[in-house]
Amino acid sequence: MHTSKYFFQTLLVIIVSALSFLTFKTFLPKKLFSETTIASKNIVVDSLLLEAIAEDNDTIAADTLSELTIDYKITNGVKFPDETFENYKGNQYLLSFFEKLFQLETKNEGNVRIAYFGDSMTDGDLIVKDFRTYLQEKFGGQGVGFVNITSESASSRSSLVHEFSANWKTQSYLKVKRPLHPFGVNGHVFYANDTSNVAWVKYKANKTRFASDLPKPTLFYGSSKNKEGKIKYILGTDTISKKLTPNSIVNTLVLSETNLKTLKVNLKKADSIPIYGFNFDDGKGVHVDNFSNRGNSGLPIGSFDIATMRAFHAKLDYDLIVLQYGANVLNYGSLNYGWYEKRMTKVVAHLKECFPGVAILIVSTADKSTKYDLEMKTDSAVVPLNTAQKRYAIKSESSFVNMYTLMGGDGSMIQWVEQEPSRANKDYTHFNHRGAKEAANLVFAQLNQGYEMYKELRKKRKKPVARIKKDSVIINKDSVHEE
């Protein structure tokens, strides 16, 4: 009797609960939590992004930017065709960069340097390695460029064998607001603070195309009161010891004028001297530095010390800065990216102060897929973030590569993951080596297309011809095309 009573009460509760769930299900969002497996070792969030979300989540008032035509002004006789918001590339803002490439290609004069800032999408030199190779294949250049002292992705980097001792102290602009010394151009500063054990770092070239040697290894380090620091390394059969002289904001020390295959450097009595990293390039052609940081939203770049960056710029002479971010920003849980647009516009303005005359290229977020009602689809945050990135590119007068549309747009990440051979990982966020090479080609192809168009426009530009004196009458000849 009692059993029957309890049975019917339980059954009634189950029926009511089921009906309630079905009723309220229609009002719930389709996605409460991501059902995909996220690579947690790669997806993290920098502290400035968390602060920005907490402090500044307001919506920017809508304007008519998306309805305007971007009307370029003639610069040095060159003007790219006007563009709409939809097809925006901003090649007009790369004129200085294109001219440097032109001088390099036609006269073999000077060299070109690019700083490529990114998040986990460029971890382990992914994308950047192939982007560098495409450029060096066309314009020349040897070496992998600037490399950190330590790196969380050292074991996965295919363009260089990178090892280091465990006793380095590292400060990163993702985690530290007030470093002991200013961050380097790589967003880090390293210290050999262990006085009882030698701190060391080792680099070894592999068979990577255009990087099978370590050309002209050069140490970059900062200012310190410590004048006792030394480095020790082996060249051939010789053991060489050199003293560090940390007198300037940024100091350099060339370890060899010739190419090396392997370099291991020990640091002694170098505590309190800020060490930034090593540069490997032959001083010719094009060089691309990979400054990737897992979890970076791009906002930490706004914390760069202007004087320190100008000191780096005086030595490295950058012509282009690439910003490729988005993977971490997508995960914060909202479709409102007005706050990100506003803050990254300020970041680009800050970069232009740090590196006067440099051109800026924004590479948008790639596609990312998430499960909705048991079906993989493009994450609902991708297009809003992509739009915000294009808007801040236009506002900051930067060039723009739309990685999302170039890789195929809506649903493209699903294809990149599931087609054979796959071009992306099962997290439906990150490219594998095949996909990274293709993504690098997408960026290079757009840049190269803009450069080839620049050369045609350059031929047609007009310049005034010197006045000719004839029979005491001065004649101003018409402008002619420069060939």
Arithmetic mean of pLDDT, 261-265: 97
Choice between 462 and 217, residue whose per-residue pLDDT is larger: 217
Choice between 359 and 153, residue whose per-residue pLDDT is larger: 359
- Say if residue 278's pLDDT is above 80: yes
pLDDT of residue 122: 96
- 324 and 188 co-located in one domain: no
Q: Which helix (H) or strand (E) holds 440?
A: helix 433-460
Residue 6 lies in a domain: no
Q: Percent of the chain at pLDDT above 70? A: 81
Q: Which residues are paired to 146 by β-bridges?
A: 279
Arithmetic mean of pLDDT, 141-159: 94
Indicate which CATH number applies to the domain containing 80. 3.40.50.1110
Q: What is the pLDDT of residues 196-208, one digit of tens each?
A: 789 999 999 999 9
- On whether the CB atoms of residues 330 and 382 are closer than 8 A, the answer is yes
Residue 413 lies in a domain: yes
Residue 374 lies in a domain: yes
End residue of a domain, out of 258, 282, 306: 282
Record the tokens describing residue 413, joined without a space: 């990440």
- Say if residue 149's pLDDT is above 90: yes
Arithmetic mean of pLDDT, 117-131: 96
- 194 and 331 co-located in one domain: no
- 104 and 187 co-located in one domain: no
State the residue range of the domain holding 332.
30-141+283-483
pLDDT of residue 282: 95
Assign 3-state DSSP to the chain and report helix, strand, coil percentages, each to 5: 35, 25, 45
Residue with tokens 């065709």, as numbered in its chain: 81
End residue of a domain, out of 224, 256, 282: 282
Q: Which of 19-28, 72-81, 175-184, 354-363 has the lowest mean pLDDT?
A: 19-28
Residue 20 lies in a domain: no
pLDDT of residue 36: 36
Indicate which CATH number applies to the domain containing 177. 2.60.120.260
- On whether the CB atoms of residues 117 and 321 are closer than 8 A, the answer is yes
CA–CA separation, 167 and 40 (whole Å):
25
- On whether the CB atoms of residues 189 and 310 are closer than 8 A, the answer is no
End residue of a domain, out of 282, 302, 323: 282
CA neighbor of 121 nearest in space, from 433, 478, 444: 433
- 278 and 289 co-located in one domain: no
The DSSP code sequence of 76-93 is: TTB-PPPEESTT---GGG
- 100 and 131 co-located in one domain: yes
pLDDT of residue 29: 46
Q: What is the pLDDT of residues 432-449, one digit of tens each?
A: 999 999 999 999 999 999
- Say if residue 405's pLDDT is above 70: yes
Amino acid at the residue 179: P
Residue 13 lies in a domain: no
| Residue 54 banded pLDDT, cuts 50, 70, 90 | low
| Residue 354 banded pLDDT, cuts 50, 70, 90 | very high
- On whether the CB atoms of residues 68 and 62 are closer than 8 A, the answer is no
Q: Which helix (H) or strand (E) holds 400?
A: strand 399-401
Arithmetic mean of pLDDT, 299-303: 95
- Say if residue 137's pLDDT is above 60: yes
> Residue 77 class from Cβ within 10 Å (0-12 exposed, 13-18 middle, 19+ buried)?
middle
> Residue 7 class from Cβ within 10 Å (0-12 exposed, 13-18 middle, 19+ buried)?
exposed
Arithmetic mean of pLDDT, 239-262: 96
Q: Which helix (H) or strand (E) holds 148?
A: none
How much is the mean pLDDT over the chain? 87
- 291 and 235 co-located in one domain: no
- 44 and 113 co-located in one domain: yes
Arithmetic mean of pLDDT, 148-155: 93
Question: In total, how many domains does the chain have?
Answer: 2
pTM of the model: 0.86
pLDDT of residue 37: 36
Amino acid at the residue 197: N
pLDDT of residue 6: 53
pLDDT of residue 193: 85
- 258 and 287 co-located in one domain: no
- 242 and 365 co-located in one domain: no
Residue 15 lies in a domain: no
pLDDT of residue 31: 45
- 430 and 291 co-located in one domain: yes
pLDDT of residue 462: 72
Q: Percent of the chain at pLDDT above 90? A: 74
Residue 329 lies in a domain: yes
pLDDT of residue 332: 66
